[in-house]
Amino acid sequence: MVVENKLKYDNYRYSIDFDDLDEKLANVKIFLLCNPHNPIGKIWSKSDLEKIGDLCKKHDVVIVSDEIHCDLTDPGINYNPFELSSNYNKAITCISPTKTFNIAGLQSSMIHTKNKEIYNKLKEELVKDFFISSNAFSSIATIAAYRECEEWLDNLKEVLFKNKRIVNDFIENEIPFLKLVPSNATYLLWIDISMLNSSSKVFCEFLRRNYGLFLSPGIQFGQNGDQFLRLNIACPETLLIKGLEKLKAAINDFQ
């Protein structure tokens, strides 16, 4: 059974409810961590990660840290890997070049753990299911991406950061009753629509049906996400602005 540790949301910012986490960890075997977090785009601090590690150690819980968006931070901002932020070694880190370099179709990913016992168990299961290695093409592409595409990635991060500023300015000036949740990672933005007095699912269906605009309803990410939309900004500036204009028109029509 999945047990949810809901994030605290106050003044358009998120934080971890450590008291609730301590209570929930008493009855689970694995804790799933998302860092940077999707959909809110938050990089967890070293202090937060250290506290998570301490609580998981207290309850003897294995941590699985999804860090697939680790490369997609705002320019000049670094993320904090769990395994470098905590001395708790019952942890597994999952990463992949697929989000960063847009090569999801090549199905390349990596898992890492410093724990020998966990490593041996993972290897045994992966061998059983023939998942121990990727295909030759994806291996070559992954090596090329990490070794030769640093300049490309730096340019991409600048583009994404510019797109984020465009969205922020547009919402502030054109749709002020929506609020963009501050973020520092991923190409996904989390928009507070609570002032619309509508569920995210109903409004997203209205957007698709009447304006051909596809945003992710926040309810997909848990019940406490129902008053939010997730917007993908990994697109050309012209397309982004067109989408924002549609969003503005849709909101005026929806009210």
What share of the chain has pLDDT > 70, as a percent?
99
Rounded (10°) angle between helices 150-174 and 237-254: 30
pLDDT confidence band for 255 (50 / 70 / 90): confident
pLDDT at 131: 67
Phi, psi values for residue 143, rounded to 5°: -60, -45
For residue 190, give the 3-state DSSP assignment.
strand
pLDDT confidence band for 216 (50 / 70 / 90): very high
Phi, psi values for residue 48, rounded to 5°: -60, -45
**pLDDT (tens digit per residue) in 2-61:** 999 999 999 999 999 999 999 999 999 999 999 999 999 999 999 999 999 999 999 999
Which ranges of the chain does DSSP label H, i.e. alpha helix? 18-25, 46-58, 82-85, 98-101, 116-128, 136-148, 150-174, 200-211, 237-254
Cα distance between residue 174 and residue 86, in whole Å = 43
Domains in the chain, start-ordered, CATH in brackets? Answer: 7-143 (3.40.640.10), 151-254 (3.90.1150.10)
pTM (two decimals)? 0.94
**pLDDT (tens digit per residue) in 104-126:** 999 899 999 999 999 999 988 88
